[in-house]
């Protein structure tokens, strides 16, 4: 097969910023060690790109959600450093964990039974302290199935760490109550936002995700976290509009004057959702190029008045400073990251 031609979508990963973000979060974790959540293909930036950088920065504990995510991560780290958060739902999952050495996170008595019946071994345990997603209930911590587990990391997950909510203290107290009855080598509660809550929440291991990749879930992280992903899209065609010409589906924009516009290789199939179109712009250097009309699956149209020098094939920057992009689009910073399409190279 011939080599692929040059892409019309690309994203630059600032490896130095990714390294600096992990080290900043590790320092903010105090006596605890920071791990790294790399689920959802490294939060949309690519496991093969981010895991080696985080590993070399010093991370030793990695987390994915699904079993199908494990092999890509294992290409870069030992199996003993990887945990699968969703745990074993079947005997096949348990056999895979035992065969590879990946640690399952046990979330229920059913999963504990599956794991023990498979032969057991080192695992992690999630206890629910108030978010009511995965995890055993605190009263189940004394169940014989749980007491038989060989637990490396006892963990829970904060529901409102990005807010100054009394729920944070309630979950902390509930976690402390459980850990008195569950022997484990390590304790882990804080995500990215939880790290900013201070040393009381850090315990032995923190599990940052969003902030590694440039997200700022709490103001305490402002200035410590740098942008990591810089997407760009190429201009496919330049067009001249006359007054009265409309642009895109449903003619949501109509030119009131002659205009020079660019058709850009970027659309909602690439994670640039329609909600990001109204009032937004792409960038060429310092010049803002307003988006005209609706975002299509594979294309958007921008006004080139502020950059008359543009040519077909030139690259435009997609504004992706996550806190700003979230405020402008109404999407969460998590959504903005993980929606990044596979067509970016």
Burial level of 180, CB count in 10 A (0-12/13-18/19+)? Answer: exposed
Query: Are the C-beta atoms of 231 and 318 separated by less than 8 Å?
Result: yes
Which residue of the set 39, 201, 268, 334 is catalytic?
39
Burial level of 340, CB count in 10 A (0-12/13-18/19+)? Answer: buried
Choose among 151, 61, 156: nearest CA to 115: 151
- Going through the chain in order, the beta strands assigned E by DSSP cover 9-13, 33-34, 36-37, 62-64, 82-84, 103-106, 122-126, 150-155, 186-188, 205-206, 229-241, 246-247, 253-254, 259-264, 281-284, 287-292, 300-303, 315-317
- The string of DSSP codes covering 96-108 is HHHHHTPEEEE-S
Burial level of 308, CB count in 10 A (0-12/13-18/19+)? Answer: exposed
Q: Is 268 a catalytic residue?
A: no
Which residue of the set 213, 230, 249, 268 is catalytic?
249
Choose among 143, 128, 130, 133: nearest CA to 182: 143
Query: Are the C-beta atoms of 73 and 85 separated by less than 8 Å?
Result: no
Degrees (nearest 5) of the Cα angle 274, 276, 280? 130
Q: Is 33 a catalytic residue?
A: no
Which positions are annotated as active-site residues? 39, 249
């Amino acid at each position: 097969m011939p080599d692929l031609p040059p892409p019309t979508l690309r994203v630059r990963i600032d490896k130095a910023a990714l390294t600096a973000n992990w080290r900043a979060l590790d320092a903010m974790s105090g006596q605890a060690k920071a791990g790294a959540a790399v689920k959802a293909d490294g939060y949309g930036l690519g496991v093969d790109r981010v895991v080696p950088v985080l590993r070399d920065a010093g991370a030793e504990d990695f987390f994915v959600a699904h079993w199908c995510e494990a092999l890509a991560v294992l290409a870069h780290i030992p199996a003993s450093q990887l945990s699968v958060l969703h745990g074993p739902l079947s005997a096949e999952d348990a056999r895979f964990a035992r065969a590879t050495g990946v640690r399952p996170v046990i979330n229920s008595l059913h999963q504990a039974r599956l794991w023990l019946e498979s032969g057991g071994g080192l695992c992690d345990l999630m206890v629910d302290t108030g978010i009511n997603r995965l995890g055993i209930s605190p009263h189940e911590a004394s169940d014989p199935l749980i007491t038989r587990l060989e637990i490396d990391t006892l963990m829970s997950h904060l529901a409102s760490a990005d807010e100054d909510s009394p729920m944070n203290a309630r979950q902390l107290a509930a976690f402390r109550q459980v850990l008195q009855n569950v022997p484990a080598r390590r304790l882990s509660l804080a995500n990215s936002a939880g790290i900013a809550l201070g040393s009381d929440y850090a315990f032995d291991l923190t599990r940052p995700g969003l902030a590694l990749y440039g997200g700022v879930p709490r103001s305490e992280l402002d200035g410590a976290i740098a942008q990591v992903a810089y997407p760009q899209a190429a201009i496919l065609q330049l067009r001249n509009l006359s007054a009265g010409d409309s642009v895109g589906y449903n003619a949501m924009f109509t030119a009131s004057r002659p205009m020079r516009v660019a058709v850009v290789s970027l659309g909602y199939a690439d994670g640039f959702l329609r909600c990001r179109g109204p009032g937004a712009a792409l960038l060429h250097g310092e010049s803002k190029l307003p988006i005209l009309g609706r975002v299509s699956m594979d294309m958007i149209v921008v006004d080139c008045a502020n950059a008359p020098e543009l040519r077909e094939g030139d690259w435009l920057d997609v504004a992706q400073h996550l806190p700003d992009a979230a405020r402008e689009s109404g999407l969460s910073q998590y959504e903005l990251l993980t929606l990044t399409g596979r067509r970016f190279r």
